[in-house]
Amino acid sequence: AQSVTQLGSHVSVSEGALVLLRCNYSSSVPPYLFWYVQYPNQGLQLLLKYTSAATLVKGINGFEAEFKKSETSFHLTKPSAHMSDAAEYFCAAGGGSNYKLTFGKGTLLTVNP
Amino acid sequence: DAGVIQSPRHEVTEMGQEVTLRCKPISGHNSLFWYRQTMMRGLELLIYFNNNVPIDDSGMPEDRFSAKMPNASFSTLKIQPSEPRDSAVYFCASSLGFNQPQHFGDGTRLSIL
């Protein structure tokens, strides 16, 4: 069965600092990978998706993620954090004929002034 | 373009009452998902519809929960009778199919007193 692990339930950075949110997946089939962001009292919003076209994926709001098959990782980064990036971030994986997306437990990002 | 629309946004009711949550998916999407989000359990998939047909309801907690999709533009999730442990945020999401991004509504925050 597919599993997604997000390392760190809470990450705190200073404004302007690098953001790194970690995600590892387990899959016996080529994965489809997604990052979502959830702001308070809102639904999950798609940040970016990996579908095998390119290993480095650029998303909205300056975020990007790199697919590393050897490490089964899909970490999310942003060079410079902004206060408005404070939210919860979810990594999700699908693959093969499985319609389900498996979600990680989420990482709460705090941005300090 | 209109996203996934859920109603109501908030529902407060007493234990034992019937609760009906509503969802309008994005036009043209053939897959619809109902999720429940709680602090303890995170994001849980309750039921999945494809082309208006329930494909997997293994996540529905018990017989008190039921879901329907009478047409491609409307779905309901019903809880009868409701219990305090049903209190959660319920999300509806839709997608174009396998391994496509799921687009989430803003959720219904349900409180059962």
Q: Which of A49-58, B42-51, B63-72, B99-108 has the lowest mean pLDDT?
A: A49-58
What's the pLDDT at A96? 66
What's the pLDDT at A1? 65
What's the pLDDT at B94? 95
Pick among A27, A33, A99 to test the B interface (most B CBs inside 10 A) = A99
| pLDDT (mean) for B10-32 | 96
Spatial CA neighbour of A91 closest among A7, A52, A33, A42: A33
User: What pLDDT digit, counting tens, does each position of A37-66 carry?
Assistant: 999 989 999 999 997 778 899 999 999 999
What's the pLDDT at A3? 87
- pLDDT bin (cut points 50, 70, 90) of residue B32 is very high
| pLDDT (mean) for B33-49 | 93
CA nearest B50 in A: which residue?
Answer: A99
Using a CB–CB cutoff of 8 Å, tell me whether B107 touches chain A: yes
- pLDDT bin (cut points 50, 70, 90) of residue B86 is very high
Instruction: Confirm if A57 and A48 have CB atoms less than 8 A apart.
Output: yes
Instruction: Confirm if A25 and A92 have CB atoms less than 8 A apart.
Output: no
Average pLDDT, chain A: 91
Within 8 A by CB and 6+ apart from A99, the residues are B31, B48, B50, B55, B56, B97, B98
Judged against a pLDDT cut of 80, whether residue A30 lies above it is answered with: no
| pLDDT (mean) for B15-26 | 97
| pLDDT (mean) for B54-82 | 95
Using a CB–CB cutoff of 8 Å, tell me whether B5 touches chain A: no
Instruction: Confirm if A16 and A113 have CB atoms less than 8 A apart.
Output: no
Distance CA A84, CA A64 (A): 16
Judged against a pLDDT cut of 80, whether residue A102 lies above it is answered with: yes
Spatial CA neighbour of A7 closest among A105, A112, A111, A110: A105
Q: Which of A8-12, A26-30, B36-40, B70-74 has the lowest mean pLDDT?
A: A26-30
- Tell me which chain B residues have a C-beta less than 8 angstroms from the C-beta of A105: 42
| pLDDT (mean) for B4-29 | 97
Residue with structure tokens 């390119």? A54
Give the CA distances from residue A88 to residues A55, A66, A68, A105, in Å, rounded to whole numbers and listed in that order.
24, 19, 23, 10
Judged against a pLDDT cut of 70, whether residue B1 lies above it is answered with: no
